[in-house]
Structure 1
Amino acid sequence: MGIFATLERMVERDGGAVLVTVMAVSGSSPREAGTRMAVRPDGAFSGTIGGGALEWQALAEAQALLASAAGSRMRMTDRALGPDLGQCCGGRVRLMLERFDRTDLPWLAALSAREDGAEMITIGLPQPGGSFSRRPAGETEAALAPSAAPVLLADGRLVERFGSRNPPVYLFGAGHVGRALVMALAPLPFELFWFDPRTDAFPAHVPRQVRIMRDPQPERSLGQAPDDARILIMTHSHALDLAIALAALAAGRFAYVGVIGSQTKRARFLSQMRQAGLDEERIARLTCPIGIPGIEGKEPAVIAASVVAQILLLPAYAAAGAGREESRLPAERRSVGGKAVS
Structure 2
Amino acid sequence: MSDPNNMSLNQSHQGFHSLTWSQAIAQLEREGTDYVIATVLGTSGSTPRASGTKMVITGEHIFDTLGGGHLEFKVIEKARSLLTQGEPAQALEQFHLAANLGQCCGGAAVVMFEVMVSEHMQLDVYGAGHVAQALIPILAQLPIRIRWIDNRADVFPANIPANVTKVVDDEPVEVAKRAKAGSAYLILTHNHHLDFELVCAILKRNDALWLGVIGSATKAKRFRHRLAHRDFSPAQIETMICPVGVPNVAGKLPMEVAVSIAGQVIGLYQQQTTPPQSRRGLQWQQLKQAFELSNNEQVVAPTAAHKVTGE
TM-score (norm 1): 0.49
Moved more, 169-178 or 210-219: 210-219
Equivalent residue of 1:232, what SS?
strand
Answering whether residue 176 of structure 2 is matched by residue 216 of structure 1, we say no
Q: Deviations over 1:161-202 (max 9, x none)?
A: 989342221111111001112111111112111111223221
Compared with structure 1, are the counterparts of its residues 282 and 187 closer, same or farther at alpha carbon in structure 2 (3 Å cutoff)?
same
Match of 2:120 in 1: 166
Q: Secondary structure at the match of 2:154?
A: coil
Task: Tell me if the contact between 2:127 and 2:150 (Cα under 8 Å) persists in the aligned partners.
Answer: yes
Match of 2:147 among 169, 193, 213: 193
Amino acid at match of 2:237: I
Q: Which amino acid aligns with 1:196?
A: D
Alpha-carbon spacing, 1:244–1:225, altered in 2? closer, same or farther (3 Å): same
Find 2:27's aligned residue among 109, 116, 127.
116
Higher helix share: 2
2:170 maps to 1:259? no
Looking at structure 2, the residues matched to 189 and 183 of structure 1 have their Cα atoms a distance apart, in angstroms, of 12
RMSD (Å) for aligned C-alpha atoms: 3.8
Question: Quick one: which of 180, 184, 194 aligns to 1:226?
Answer: 180
C-alpha spacing 1:238/1:247, structure 2 compared with 1 (3 Å) = same
Secondary structure at 1:116's aligned position in 2? helix
SS at the partner of 1:291? coil
Question: 5+ residue gaps in structure 2?
Answer: 1-19, 38-53, 57-78, 80-87, 91-113, 279-311
Q: TM-score, normalised by structure 2?
A: 0.53
Shift of 1:269: 0.7
Q: What is the one-letter code of the residue matched to 1:115?
A: A
Percent of matched pairs sharing the same residue: 32
Report the alpha carbon displacement of residue 136 of structure 1 after superposing the two structures with TM. 8.8
> How do 1:27-176 residues align onto structure 2 when only pairs under 5 Å count?
111-117=22-28, 118=33, 164-176=118-130
1:287 to 1:115, Cα distance in 2 relative to 1, 3 A = same
Q: How far apart are 1:220 and its partner, in Å? A: 1.0
What amino acid maps onto 1:235 in structure 2? T
Aligned-partner residue type, residue 197 of structure 1? N
Distance change in 2, residues 1:217/1:119 (3 Å)? closer
Q: Deviations over 1:118-174 (max 9, x none)?
A: 36799xxxxxxxxxxxx899x9xx869xxxxxxxxxxxxxxx998934222111111
Gaps of 5+ in 1: 1-108, 123-134, 145-159, 328-342
Q: Which structure has the higher relative contact order (CA within 8 Å, separation 6+)?
A: 2
Write the distance in 2 (CA, Å) between the matches of 1:298 and 1:163: 38
Give the equivalent residue in structure 1 for 2:253: 299
Asked if 1 retains the 8 angstrom alpha-carbon contact of 2:21 and 2:55, the reply is no
How many aligned residue pairs are there? 198
Residue 206 to residue 276, structure 1, CA distance change in 2 (3 Å): same
3-state SS, counterpart of residue 311 of structure 1? helix
Cα distance, 1:206 vs. partner?
1.2
The letter for the 1-side match of 2:139 is L
Question: Are the aligned partners of 2:187 and 2:213 in contact in 1 as well (CA < 8 Å)?
Answer: yes
Give 3-state SS (helix, strand or coil) of 2:212's partner. Answer: strand
